[in-house]
Amino acid sequence: MIGGGIVLTVIAVLLVAVGTRFLQTKGWSAPIPRPDGGYLSGGETDTEHAEKQSGLLRWLTTVDHKDIGVLYLVFGTVAALWGGTEAMMIRTELLTPTADVWTAATYNGLFTTHGITMLFFFVTPVFFGIANYFLPLLLNADDMAFPRINAIAFWMLPPSLLLARAGLPADALGKLLSTVGVKIPFLEALHPPETGWTLYAPLSIQSGNPQVDLLLLGLHLSGIATTLGAINFIITVVSERGDDIGWPDIDIFSWTMLSTSGIVLFAFPLLGSAVIMMLLDRNFGTTFYLIEGGGPILWQHLFWFFGHPEVYIIFLPATGLVSTILPKFSSRKLFGFKFIVYSTLAIGVLSFGVWAHHMFSTGIDPRVRASFMFVSLAIAVPSAVKVFNWISTMYDGRIRLTAPMIFAVGSIGTFILGGVTGVFLAAIPIDLVVHDTYFVVGHFHFIVMGIIPMMMFAASYYWYPIITGRMYDQLLARLQAVLTIVGVPITFGSMLIMGALGLPRRYANYPDQFALLQQIASVGAFIIGIGVLLWLWNMVQSYRVGPRVRDADVWQLKRDDAFTREWQWFEEKLADRYGTDGGDPDDD
């Protein structure tokens, strides 16, 4: 029996070899395997893509890293506008001490979905979009290491967002169908979850809202997508660099994306496992997070072992953008390049050693608390190294206050405020006093609404000519930068004061004496919201009618020997489009 199988195998191999040889004599060449398991056709030996499809089909089938990057950016922007609208609704409710604009249940749903949307579907996708577009250009690579997996990773995100946010569309669809006499009880049963974005047990297990199950599935799917994207970034940096780029030549943004991807690789799989266990607790009677089993505190340990590294997953790319953009408009090289790289790697490692400082008030062993306080304070050191190097880069430089530069400088200020208040929260005595107050919200948002979106805005302005081939309204951009920088401390500085005075967070009703501070915070938030609308208008309108860029040296980077690889690529592209004589393009 075995001997017969061997004979058949040998015959099959011979037939394949003979057949291949015969086809080759007729001019046929075997498909070339690609690293992601696919095959290039027609003897294509690199990732130069065939003629792109046109219209919608192009965007649905593309594997070009630049197209995927744009898809990420559009997706993240839509999610940000959705989550930002909820932020405005929250601040509108808090204009008055009583819950008289929205109900308390709606308010609870708003701050839950706002947090989840912003952290999982806005910040990470936008940074992945920027990296998708520019990492291969900065590394002189043809494309990402696994172009098709790259596309798959992106296309997992829209369904994961719909799963996580199904409550509102399901409610609207259910009401729409009921108007024509069709009733679907499942749709009517879905409501935005009111558990808070941390999904603490046992509340999230006991909740009878089926939307919580869909939310957990959505988070799991987004985690798979993020992990695939991170693997792609790591392999691209390690093995797809151009021949002329050694490790010392890698730019600072690529270093931060490499560190970020390393954190993702360890953090997101753990989140996936934790949410699966919660799904089992909710639906199959297991007791991972119940008193009878692991206990509710187990969820907190697992969640924050993911949750605090997640802060650095979304923070490190922002620091990479500061380190990229700031020197360009200071007309100086980045001060202490190596030390910024070392500090980035140090933050990546230390980020996994700080999770328990979120749980100082849960009654854990004081000796454990002390060790986590030490590590939490220690992570301030590499963070401070970055600030020192950024300020030193600007020192005695020729500062140009373009919109990207204004945002970069403003980011340093908000990061200092967020970082210093984080040191307070890392200290056990202070944390026990201000835990779960608005102080925590203010600290956190000085980072997530300060440096992170500010550097996204800065990057959108800095690289806008490369992505669109047009220039934006620079005066409007500077106005938006100023509005944002003014709005952030008004909003979140007020929260720090309210927290220090003892106002708990996550309540729709609050004592009358906090009304003025809440109203000031809301006014600051509305100023930020106006700035966002100005940015959106500028991006869309400039894409339509903005002046075409003909000279790639938009920022006079050649003068300072800072005309980096992505701009060199852009210059070659312009030369192809317009010709070296700068003549009028056919489509102008």
- pLDDT, one tens digit per residue, over 51-73 is 667 778 888 999 999 999 999 99
Identity of the residue numbered 59: W
At residue 123, the pLDDT reads 94
| For range 115-133, the mean pLDDT | 96
Q: Which of 121, 109, 116, 114 is nearest to 192 (CA)?
A: 109
**What is d(CA 180, CA 310) in angstroms, rounded to the nearest whole number?**
45
Q: What is the pLDDT of residues 443-496, one digit of tens each?
A: 999 999 999 999 999 999 999 999 999 999 999 999 999 999 999 999 999 999
Residue that wins the pLDDT comparison between 584 and 105: 105
Bridge partner residues of 437 (DSSP): 504
Confirm if 516 and 438 have CB atoms less than 8 A apart: no
Give the integer Cα–Cα distance in Å for 325 and 385.
17
Confidence of residue 503 (pLDDT cuts 50, 70, 90): very high
Peptide bond into 202 cis (omega under 30): yes
pLDDT band per the 50, 70, 90 thresholds, residue 171: confident
Q: So what's the pLDDT on residue 437?
A: 96
- Please write the tens of the pLDDT for every residue from 242-295: 988 999 999 999 999 999 999 999 999 999 999 999 999 999 999 999 998 899
- What is the pLDDT, as a whole number, of residue 18? 53
96 in Cβ contact with 515 (< 8 Å): yes
pTM exceeds cut of 0.75? yes
Q: Closest by alpha carbon to 386, among 425, 342, 332?
A: 342
Both tokens of residue 364?
């854990």
What is the length of the chain? 588
Report residue 156's pLDDT band, with 50, 70 and 90 as the boundaries: very high
Question: Cβ contacts of residue 202 below 8 Å, gap of 6+?
Answer: 289, 290, 296
pLDDT over 80 (residue 168): no
Question: For residue 531, what pLDDT is reported?
Answer: 97
Tell me the pLDDT of the chain averaged across its residues. 89
Residues 298-308: pLDDT tens digits?
A: 999 999 999 99
Spatial contact of 345 and 391, defined as CB atoms under 8 Å apart: no
Predicted local confidence at residue 181, as pLDDT = 79
Residues 6+ apart with CB under 8 A from 206: none
Is pLDDT at 7 greater than 50 in this prediction?
A: no
Nearest C-alpha neighbor of 405 from the set 326, 323, 473, 320: 326
pLDDT value at 400 more than 70: yes
Q: What is the DSSP letter of 63?
A: -
530-553: per-residue pLDDT in tens? 999 999 999 999 999 999 999 999
pLDDT digits over 370-396, tens only? 999 999 999 999 999 999 999 999 998
Exposure string (b/e) for 55-89, b if CB count within 10 Å is 16 or more? eeeeeeebbbbbbbbbbbbebbbebbebbbebbbb
Give the C-alpha separation, 135 to 232, whole Å: 11
**So what's the pLDDT on residue 5?**
43
Beta strands in 195-332 (DSSP E): none
Other beta carbons within 10 Å of 249:
13
- Give the least confident one: 51-60, 452-461, 502-511, 563-572: 51-60
- Over residues 96-113, the mean pLDDT reads 92
Structure tokens at 163: 């799963």
Q: What is the pLDDT of residue 37?
A: 46
In the chain, the percentage of residues whose pLDDT exceeds 90 is 77
Closest CA to 480 of 542, 522, 422, 431: 542
Both tokens of 134, joined, read 């520019």
* pLDDT value at residue 253: 96
Q: What's the pLDDT at 73?
A: 97
- The pLDDT tens digits for 309-341 are 999 999 999 999 999 999 999 999 999 999 999
- The CA-based diameter of the chain, rounded to the nearest angstrom, is 89
pLDDT band for position 49 (cuts 50, 70, 90): low
Q: CA 516, CA 96: separation in Å to the nearest integer?
A: 9
Alpha-carbon gap, residue 418 to 319, rounded angstroms: 14
- Residue 186: band (very low, low, confident or very high) from pLDDT cuts 50, 70, 90: confident
Query: Could you tell me which of 514, 523, 457, 515 has the C-alpha nearest to residue 491?
Result: 523
